[in-house]
Amino acid sequence: MRMSFWEYQGTAHTGVARVASSMNGVHAVAYSPVGDCYINSMFTMMEREKRFPPVHTSVLDLKTMGMGINRLPESLREVSHDHNPDLIVVTQTCSSSLLQEDYGSLARQANIPNEVLIYAPNPFRVEEDESANGLLTVMVEQFAAMKLPPTSKPSVNIIGPISLGFHHKHDLLSLQRMLETMGIAVNVVFPLGATVADIKKLPQAWATIAPYREMGADAAIVLEKMHNIPAVTSAPIGVVATRKWVREVLESLNKFASGNGLTFDLKEPAIAAFSMDQKSAPSGLPWFTITADVQGYSSKKAFVFGDFTHAVAITRMLATELDMQIVGAGTYNRKLANEFRELVKPYTDNIICSSEFAEVRKAIGETLPDIVMGTQMERHTSAEFDIPCATISNPTHIEDFSLSYQPFLGYDGSNFITDRVYHTCTLGLEKHMIEMFGDAGLGVEEARLKANERGKIQVAPEPEAREQELEAYKIAEELRAKATQLAVESGAAVAVKAPPVAAITAELVWTDEAQKALKQIPFFVRPKVQKRVEEYARSHGYSLITLDLVYEVREKAQQ
């Protein structure tokens, strides 16, 4: 029993849903109370998924429980009828797992032609990533057992990109760009966009790329064991790691070729070949770090937290390539803790493997870094301590599913990450100026914005501000009148819309009641509403703003 305000991951069925939602012709059926279907909204809202999520809730409710009815067979028939998928994955959630249903026999009762896979890990033990990762492994074991002859040209599988993965779609694009430069074809991407038939094709690749340790690496290793297809499980994040990865991929392919009597010798392409224009350095990071203002980064302290892959790679990249001091590094993938410690030990002594955000918060509070690279939760924590923060890992907000190309992997990724770090940190030179000469009023503005961001109540303008506003209003009115006059005189085709004749009298006074009503309006629209009410009052010749007047304006709904 513990108190939870917030979790880094969802539960096992979220992982299953993510796999199904990534694929084509695969449907998940979760035997659960109706509310557990909330995960579907993550696909359609966060990632703006175009399809109805292929995740069906087989509703467990009090009525059916009382009657001893299980709807699962009926749900399977419904899914079979509506979607006719190649594969249905049956899973459970916390509450339904307690009922210890025999899913195998229930699935047989459904009597449907579709293949059914029961994948119901213990939701009290297995979290989202582990569950999805486990399902990928099971699918490989089950559907990729048949040996196939290798493709005639060098090709690789990419295992790991998944629905709701952190920048995964962009990562995939970055990998594909690099592979194309290297003259390597992509055999299968799994699970994103894959079908069951695609899984069956996995054994014909020369190597498997699985950049995410917590998502898909195990499936790649299983494939290696089954068919001797080398698995490349390092993450090409940062320039050094990317270059190493390129060589590792080439080596694996050459090794596979010689082991299978294929005459192929792939060479590392020239560095410029990886760039967008084929002429320049594919990553601007090496030059960027030695430019004058970035040299100051060597004194900056960074704190890194996230999933295993991103936390390890960003720690290494910040420490070695951007020359920052790592004051803390951690991951919420607790089951990979030992491996994590081993990998980040060279960069920091302060290692946190925990799924309790409060622990991470405490560590940030104690180290007070200059920059935090973390999840959505560390963003909240950092705002509290007033430390700049960039997201480098799930869980994240909707804005991390960007329209523009923002990969983390590869040379393209190194540029994006560097930009993200740079935009997050206080600028080098500007910071020196501020330290020397004060903030020239910038700080005031910033503080005001920050206060707004944090949902602090904005105070209504003071009387003198209101006077200024009135003054500004007068001036605006005069200008508009002038413009209209000019337009009329010059016979302009477009006449400026005549303003309402405002009865600008003395200052407006708000009654206490009306002020209270104004305070009930959410802070972020309050100034707009205030302005609207005051304009209305002026144009109707009121000098006293009453509660009734506030609602009269609302009623008139002048949007």
Partner 1 sequence: MTIAPDTLPEIPEAEVLREDNGYHAFCGLTCTGWLYQKMKDSFFLILGTHTCAHLMQNALGVMIFAKPRFGVAMVEEGDLSAPQIDITDIVKNIVEEHNPSIIFLLNSCTPEIMKVDFESMARRLNQQFNNVPVLPVRADGLEYTMTQSEDCVIESLLQFCPVAPAGDKRIVFMGAVNDVNTTDLKREAEKLGLPVAGFVPANTIGELPAIGPDTILAPLHPYVAKSITQFSRLRGAKVLQSQFPIGPDGTRVFFEDLARHFGKEINLAEREAEIWRNLESKVSAIRGKRIFITGDNMLELPIARFLRKCGAELIEVGTPYVNRKFHKRELQALNGLRVVEMPNMHRQIRDIRELKPDLVVTNFWEANPFEAEGIATKWSTEIIFTPIYGFTGASDLANLFARALNRHRKLDVLDWKEFLPNNQEN
Contact status, residue 82 vs residue 112, Cβ threshold 8 Å: no
Q: Looking at 86, 293, 323, 419, which residue is catalytic? A: 293
Question: Is residue 512 part of the contact set for partner 1 (CB under 8 A)?
Answer: no
Find out whether 36 is annotated in a ligand binding site.
yes
| 60 binding partner 1? (CB under 8 A) | yes
Cα 226–chain centre separation = 34
**CB 205 to partner 1: min, Å:** 23
In the complex, least distance from residue 194 CB atom to partner 1, rounded to whole angstroms: 13
Toward partner 1, which CB reaches closer, 33 or 388? 33
* Residues 83-102 close enough to bind partner 1 by CB under 8 A: 93-95, 98-99
Contact 331, 356 (CB under 8 A): no
Q: Find the shortest distance in angstroms from Cβ 78 to partner 1.
A: 6
521 is a contact residue toward partner 1 (CB under 8 A): yes
What's 55's DSSP letter?
E
State which of residues 127, 129, 171, 307 lies at the interface with partner 1 (CB under 8 A).
127
Residue 524 within binding range of partner 1, rule CB under 8 A? no
**Measured distance CA(52)–CA(301) in Å, rounded:** 44
Choices 57-65, 200-208, 323-331, 366-374 (CB under 8 A): range interacting with partner 1: 57-65
Site for partner 1 contains 298 (CB under 8 A): no
Nearest residue (CB) to partner 1, 358 versus 496: 358
- Residue 41 binding partner 1, by CB under 8 A: yes
57 binds partner 1 (CB under 8 A): yes
- For position 25 contacting partner 1 by CB under 8 A, the verdict is no
547 binds partner 1 (CB under 8 A): yes
β-strands 207-209, 231-232 pairing: parallel
What is the phi/psi pair of residue 127, to 5°?
A: -95, 180
Spatial separation of the C-alpha atoms in residues 30 and 21, rounded to whole Å = 13
- In the annotation, is 400 catalytic? no
To the question of whether residue 262 is assigned a binding role by annotation, the answer is no
Q: How far is the CB of 409 from partner 1 (least distance, A)?
A: 22
Characterise 84 by phi-psi region: left (phi > 0), alpha (psi -120 to 50), beta (else): left
399 sits near partner 1 (criterion: CB under 8 A): no
> Closest separation between CB of residue 50 and partner 1, Å?
4
Torsion sign, CA atoms 119, 120, 126, 128: positive
Residue the block writes with tokens 């104690």 = 366
Q: What are phi and psi for residue 395, nearest 5 degrees?
A: -75, 145
Contacting residues for 125 by C-beta, under 8 A, at least 6 apart: none
Residue number with CB closer to partner 1 (23 or 37): 37
Give the shortest CB-75-to-partner 1 separation in angstroms.
8
Buried b (16+ CB within 10 A) or exposed e, 264-287: eebeeeeeeebbeeeeeebbbbee
SS (H, E, C) 170-216: HHHHHHHHHHHHHCCEEEEEECCCCCHHHHHHHHHCCEEECCCCCCC
Rounded-to-integer distance, Cα 323 and Cα 146, Å? 48
The answer to the question of whether 403 is labelled as a binding residue is no
Question: Measuring CA to CA, how many Å separate 422 from each of 82, 116, 433, 439?
Answer: 50, 49, 17, 20
Name the residue nearer to partner 1 (CB basis): 324 or 549. Answer: 549
Contact 165, 215 (CB under 8 A): yes
Given candidates 69, 124, 427, 472, which one binds partner 1 under the rule CB under 8 A? 124
Residues marked as binding?
A: 36, 428-429
Name the residues that contact partner 1, by CB under 8 A: 1-7, 9-11, 13-14, 33-45, 48-53, 56-57, 59-63, 65, 78, 82, 93-95, 98-99, 122-125, 127, 377, 380, 384, 455, 516-517, 520-521, 547-548, 551, 554-557, 559
Residues with a known catalytic role = 293
Residues marked as binding for [4Fe-4S] cluster?
A: 36
